[in-house]
Amino acid sequence: MKSSKRSPLLRLAAQAWLAIAGLYFLWEAMNYRGFFGRLAELQIHYFGAYAPLLTFLFLFGLAALPAWLLLRILRRREQQEQSPSEILSLQIKRGKRLRTILYSFAAATTVVVAAFIVFVLFMLPSPQGNVQTIAASDVGTIAVKEGPARMVGGEIGTIVFFGQDWFIGDDRMAFAPYRAAGKDGRLARVFVQLEAKSKTQLASITQRPAWSGILVEGGLPGTARVLFNSLGVGISDPYYTLYRDEYSLKIRYWLQAIQWTILAVFLLIFARMQTRRVKKLEEERGELVA
């Protein structure tokens, strides 16, 4: 009797744990913190890149395993105490609830995809327009516009290199702060994307009299910000990033949008499969009652 009374509380606790774990590791992934950040840095150390989605799923899967096992045990215990008709009714109820959850997540994922598309198409600068020549020492004292730009009068500093694997593509990136000569101790107001797709290419990077590309306010990937902070490179607020070209600026957003689209498609497929399963269970229950 006590066991049956505690079952709803245990089920609620397991479901709450799943929700909290999912939100927590999502927060870690968005902010490159905690276990996610450490596991990502471990991958970067050994492989030169890390897989954001796989890292999140691995951590969430580990945290969710105890709750999933508990829910499975509770489900089997309930089925032992119920008649076949009650079992089918319960399975139908759970199937409909799961279908609703899948459709809800698919809708939310579609909104994320739309947000990425709007951001890339309408909020990121393009290479069109007049090229703005900016001296490194003037950043912070003059108005800086996003768009095509040419940075002069500075030197690149500490370089960070990392990669992100998105399964459908990968993105290898190298960035360095760009400061006026002799100003290494100040917060970096400008970062420059470097031409390096592997660590071996970093050795060939040298100082230049000017760096050209597309300037965007902010723009550093979260991973790069954390790596710079860990190396003692302060980041000003606001700061700017000079990307080599439009492709380099937008590719990581397109890769994420495509990945979220694939996720939405899979969620819709699973939801459709769940609809068929519910229909089949309802037919079985009808035959059993008849």
Instruction: Yes or no: say if 142 and 210 are a contact pair by the CB < 8 Å rule.
Output: no
Tell me: the pLDDT tens digits for 28-53?
A: 887 778 898 888 888 877 776 677 77
Which residues span the domain enclosing 212?
132-244
Q: What is the pTM of this model?
A: 0.77
Number of domains in the chain: 1
28 CB-contact burial (10 Å; exposed 0-12 / middle 13-18 / buried 19+): buried
Residue 17 located in a structural domain: no
Retrieve residue 16's tokens. 């709450």
Helix axes 52-80, 2-31, angle to 10 degrees: 170
Cβ contact 221:164 at 8 Å: yes
Q: One-letter amino acid identity for 157?
A: G
Please indicate, yes or no, if residue 276 is contained in any of the structural domains.
no
| Dist. CA 185–CA 146, nearest whole Å | 26
Bridge partners of 210, per DSSP, are: 152
What average pLDDT does the chain have? 87
Express each pLDDT in 58-86 by its tens digit.
999 999 999 999 988 887 877 776 777 77
- Residue 90 located in a structural domain: no
Band (167; pLDDT cuts 50, 70, 90): low
Question: Residue 37 domain-assigned?
Answer: no
Does 270 map to a domain? no
Residue 28 falls inside a structural domain: no
Is 44 part of a structural domain of the chain? no
Residue 120 pairs in a beta bridge with: none
Q: Are the C-beta atoms of residues 243 and 214 closer than 8 Å to each other?
A: yes
* Distant-in-sequence, close-in-space partners of 181: CB < 8 Å, separation ≥ 6: 153, 154, 155
Cβ atoms of residues 220 and 193 within 8 Å: no
Does residue 119 carry a pLDDT above 80? yes
Which one is predicted more confidently, 45 or 226?
A: 226
4 pLDDT higher than 80: no
Q: Would you give the DSSP letter of residue 274?
A: H
**Domain presence at residue 198:** yes
